[in-house]
Structures are given as structure tokens and as C-alpha cells.
Amino acid sequence: MTTKECRTCSTKKPLDDYYNRKDAKDGKFSECKDCHNQRRNRWLKTDKGKAYRRRKSKERYDKKKHDEVWLEKRRAKDRAWYANNRDKKLASVKEYQQKKGPPKPRKKSLASFVAKNPSAWYNIIFSLFQLLEEIHANSSNEKVLERAVVLSDLMRYANFSTLQEFCEKCKDPRSSKTRKTKS
């Protein structure tokens, strides 16, 4: 048997035009390579097919990224591309930055702030607890409630340098203790 009829397009084609399949009687798929590829390409355009392709691509990359030989080849290729296209790359970066505008300052993370300024962090926490005590004791005092609103806004946006400035206003410049505000 040198030819076979495709179940999809119903044309007789030589066995070389069919993919191999171990569990089939004749060892070939029942549809020709052309029909199989068309069906697969239609499926790959669906959401499930796209997810499958992304997952497989990620698996291949994850496997390769631990291979030092592949990594070194990739880095060499990237360096060579950059050397040949440096002006083009810099122009595209400049164009992007002009379109986007000046870079926004990054917010400080809590961990980095605490690590760099442990005493300032202690003063902030101390001021917060003191303010909470004041709020609890003097919930009718407008000034205390106003400070609480400002403090809650500062906490919401987690801008620690502004929070530190806010707490510095509560401190007495002559001592390291936080002074209590008069109600």
C-alpha cells in the first residue's frame, strides 16, 4: 500500500504525505499533513491554542535559561545586535521617553525605608501611636481629627518621606520625645 485516502479532503496521497502514528493499523494518521496542519493552525488561533503555545514557549525558555552554553550564545547575539543597531536603539528609547514624559519618581518601599532609617521609623511609629491615643481621647477635637485625616491619606499612598515630614512636625525640636499637642 503506497497511497492512502485522507478522511478530511478525500484525496488519495502517498504515505509520505501523512504523519506517523504508532497506534494506527498502517502506522499513519488518517488525515494528510496539509489537512492536519490547517486544523492545527485553526486551533492555535483559538484562546486555548494561544494559551497552549504560550505555556509551551515558556517551558522551552525556562529549560534553556538554565543552560549556560545557550545563555552565553544568547548574550553574545544580543551584544552583537546592540553593537550593530546602537543608534537605532537609542533613538527609539529617546522617542519613547519623549512620548511618555519624564520618569516618575519611584516610591520608597517600606522595607528599604526601615532598613536605611530605623530610628526615623521608630519615631514615625511612636508618633502614630501617640496620635491614635489623642484621637481616642479627644475624638471631638477638630485639629486632632484633621491630623488623623492627613495621616490616613499619607498611609494610603505609602509615601514614607512625606509621612516622616508629617511626624517631624509633631516632634519637639529641643528633645527626642514627641510632644503632645494641646487640645
**What integer is the mean pLDDT of 150-177?**
53
Residue 133: inside a domain: yes
The answer to whether residue 117 scores a pLDDT higher than 90 is: no
Residue 177: inside a domain: no
For residue range 122-161, list pLDDT tens digits in order: 777 777 777 766 766 666 666 666 666 666 665 555 445 5
The answer to whether residue 43 scores a pLDDT higher than 70 is: yes
Residue 41: inside a domain: yes
Residue 22: inside a domain: yes
Residue 40: inside a domain: yes
For residue range 65-84, list pLDDT tens digits in order: 888 898 899 999 999 999 99
Please tell me which residue, 120 or 45, carries the higher pLDDT value: 45
Do both 121 and 156 map to the same domain? yes
Q: 173: Cβ–Cβ under 8 A, 6 or more apart, which residues?
A: none
To 10 degrees, what angle do helices 142-157 and 118-137 make?
140
Half-sphere exposure of 77 (CA within 13 A, CB side): 6
The answer to whether residue 178 scores a pLDDT higher than 70 is: no
**What integer is the mean pLDDT of 99-121?**
73
Do both 91 and 42 map to the same domain? no
> How high is the pLDDT of residue 172?
42
Residue found under cell 516632634? 171
Question: Structural domain of residue 80, as residue ranges?
Answer: 70-100
Please tell me which residue, 113 or 19, carries the higher pLDDT value: 19
Do both 142 and 165 map to the same domain? yes
Do both 114 and 166 map to the same domain? yes
Binned at pLDDT 50, 70 and 90, residue 55 comes out as very high
Total structural domains in the chain? 3
The answer to whether residue 90 scores a pLDDT higher than 80 is: yes
Residue 74: inside a domain: yes
Do both 127 and 154 map to the same domain? yes
Q: 50: Cβ–Cβ under 8 A, 6 or more apart, which residues?
A: 44
The answer to whether residue 103 scores a pLDDT higher than 60 is: yes
To 10 degrees, what angle do helices 68-84 and 86-100 make?
80
Report whether 129 contacts 137 (CB < 8 A): no
- CA dist., res. 155 & res. 158, Å (int): 5
